Amino acid sequence: MKKTITSNDLKNLVNEAHAQVKDLKGGKNANYIPFLDKIDSNLFGISVCLPSGEVIEAGDTNYVFGIESVSKVYTAILVLRQYGAQAVLDKIGADATGLPFNSIMAILLENDHPSTPLVNAGAIMVKPVGNSEAKWKAITDNMRELSGSDLKLLDELYKSESETNFNNRSIAWLLKNYNRIYDDPDMSLDLYTRQCSLGITAEQLSIAAATIANDGVNPVTKKLIFDASLSPKITSLVATVGFYERTGDWLFTSGIPAKTGVGGGVMGIMPGHFGISAFAPPLDSSGNSVKAQLAIKYIMNKLGLSIFGSTRFTITG
């Protein structure tokens, strides 16, 4: 079924979703990273970026928060760009673990590879080419290209996470034990921790999501960031494991592939339609933002849109 909506209708819907969800309670800030525990729990923003480059927003969409695991989507894109889809499939994989994001058990259960770049094990091992400096430059350049503007390191978050990331240190060295990490484990972990500590806004996140939804062309800068053939690969990775062990429930109820981070951000990709993001710090027990989930679901359900359905929208100006 084909439908037409105006960007004004969408604006009203985004405002409505914000108003409906704003005062709801539930969830708790991530407290295993002390910095995140201190962030104002009432912050809440929603941003939608259309293929035209128009950005529709409500609430705290310019607040800079820790990107955390949403950064895994960016680095997955980077290694897809550098090594190609087949190498990523062979060396890392594209399967859901069905287990929490930082699961040690998942590493023990896999015989050959970490299984996906979107859980901690895969993200710690996923690295661009070059020495540590070149890798960091590639990571931040790629993030800027996708988001349309620079992301800055939140030093306090980086320090806080580096001082407490004992589980991730175990993951890095366990991967080494099984010959499943291709770089020095400590360097890989440090780069991962730094990328998770980059600050991003909901607006930037929606632009990056829209770049994926728009076949690799950033709708705001109009630049081709990656080959269109990679878009469905990235979206499939996100669809498979974006909400970790809650991914099936999420897809069933929202209809949109999306990736969460313990900083409270969620990035959703509706191919050909839009990129959407929402941000609110309190999380459910799997580490997914409670309000961001409710807001995105509200919008998807009101639109009657699902990646698995046949309804398609034309959004007019």
Binding interface with ligand GLU (CB under 6 A): 68-69, 101-102, 120, 161, 168, 196, 261-262, 287
**Which single residue is written with the structure tokens 């990679």?**
230
Residues forming a β-bridge with 267? 259, 277
Residue 222, Ramachandran bin (φ over 0: left; ψ between -120 and 50: alpha; else beta) = left
CA distance 70 to 64: 14
Min CB(292)–ligand GLU separation in Å = 12
CA distance 100 to 69: 12
Min CB(205)–ligand GLU separation in Å = 13
Residue (117 or 216) nearer to ligand GLU, CB = 117
- The answer to whether the beta carbons of residues 82 and 117 sit under 8 Å apart is no
Residue (103 or 206) nearer to ligand GLU, CB = 103
Min CB(219)–ligand GLU separation in Å = 26
Q: Which residue is nearest to ligand GLU (CB)?
A: 69
Min CB(1)–ligand GLU separation in Å = 36
Residue (219 or 281) nearer to ligand GLU, CB = 281
Mention every residue, 6+ apart, whose C-beta is less than 8 A from residue 204.
Answer: 147, 148, 149, 151
CA distance 168 to 17: 36
Residue (267 or 303) nearer to ligand GLU, CB = 267
Q: Which whole-number Å values give the CA distances from 79 to 87, 140, 218, in the listed order? A: 9, 13, 18
* Positive or negative: CA dihedral 126, 131, 133, 135: negative
**Which single residue is written with the structure tokens 């990571």?**
139
Residue (196 or 217) nearer to ligand GLU, CB = 196
Min CB(191)–ligand GLU separation in Å = 12
Min CB(31)–ligand GLU separation in Å = 12
Q: Tell me if residue 116 falls in helix, strand or coil.
A: coil
Residue (44 or 101) nearer to ligand GLU, CB = 101
